Amino acid sequence: MKYLKQLMIILVISFAGEILNELLPLPVPAGIYGLLILLACLSTGALKTADIRECAKFLVEIMPVMFVPAAVGLMDMGEELEDMLLALVVMIPVTTAFGIAVTGLVTQTVIRRGKRDDK
């Protein structure tokens, strides 16, 4: 019953994100709205991590399985992707390197601030 309650909390927040996506005329995906709502609930203490921990852990563990349909869809679109092959070959490594660099810089900043706060 605990897992069902946790799943329902996550689904209600996701549904609220879907509603915001329909109401607000912004080009923001519903999932982003849901994540922002979840962040706000966790930050304000309206929701405790213990309230969703086990279900969230399970969803993160099965996340790779969720990419299988997208990968199959890409394989099915081989001919359409051939037209963009050069752009993809350039864009994928550049954006990957950019993402890694930004993640590293943010991580270093957080670690430095944590050490400074400890002193």
Task: Indicate the pTM of the whole model.
Answer: 0.65
**Number of neighbours of residue 6 by Cβ within 10 angstroms:** 20
Tens digit of pLDDT at every position of the chain (119 positions): 899 999 999 999 999 999 999 999 999 999 999 999 999 999 999 999 999 999 999 999 999 998 898 888 888 888 888 888 899 899 999 999 999 999 999 999 999 988 887 77
CA gap 55, 51 in Å, rounded: 9
Q: Provide the token pair at 24.
A: 């607000």
Q: Provide the token pair at 67.
A: 């990419």
No. of H helices and E strands in the chain?
Answer: 7, 0
